[in-house]
Amino acid sequence: MSDVLVAKIGGSTLGADDTTLEDIVAQQRRGLRPVVVHGGGALISDWLKVHSVPTRFERGLRVTDARTLEVVVAVLAGLVNKRLVAALTAAGGRAVGVSGADGGLLKARLLDEKLGYVGEVAEVDTRLLLDLLDDGFVPVVAPIAVQWQGESPTGQLLNINADTAAGAVAKALAARWLVFLTDVPGIRGEDGETVASLSPAGARSLTDAGFIQGGMIPKVEACLLAASSGCRSIIADGRRAGALREAIEERTGTVVG
């Protein structure tokens, strides 16, 4: 059975009380092979504001024109990625930061012309990640991809939803676990209580009824994608000490799939 653990974290996971990065290092010491996929939407919005670039969303996705893309790439593949690498290193881990553009990791196509330079993952080339894992590193992946047309790269960078990227990476690696470390205990059901598990049919029902909405939708979709290949997919509260260990030991969060 695979010992790969894909953890999706937000780009702001550096708070004084957050133990997510320590949890990741602890799992590496236990012999698991963590891969981190991160976002950074809040910081991107801050930097766009600094540079007087307007922000607009459609269906929860950031419309990404050429100016926006420059900021997105700089923040995700630069500032956020390297902060996380530095923090993991300070916590005692061995981390290497990459983006989906490195080594052809994420091959993408345009999702919708109305969204600009926003992509959907067409293929994941896992060779770079496997090499890093085999060498004892924690890969830290920024969700930037290269656009492909047919069998050829165009050289155009694309902005990828980090949740979607995490699900695609987990599926391609045949990971044992995919854990979304969030700021909520899990998915709430119709009674307002966190549900321990959610089937694909249950996920559709709660989404149609509006109980799963906004940024939780791509997380659930990514969980279902990864679960289709046998990955145990979990949405859990990353603010709790030891949250990652508890999630994979089936004691917290919502198992999706």
The catalytic residue positions are: 8, 11, 41, 163, 219
Q: How far apart are CA 2 and CA 189, in angstroms?
A: 31
CB 151 within 8 A of CB 161: no
DSSP notation for 141-187: EE-EEEEEETTEEEEEEEEE-HHHHHHHHHHHTT-SEEEEEESSSS-
Burial label, 196 (beta-carbon count in 10 A; 0-12, 13-18, 19+): middle
Strand-pair category, 152-160 with 144-149? antiparallel
- Residue 215's identity, in one-letter code, is G
- Residue 238 tokens, joined: 């990353």
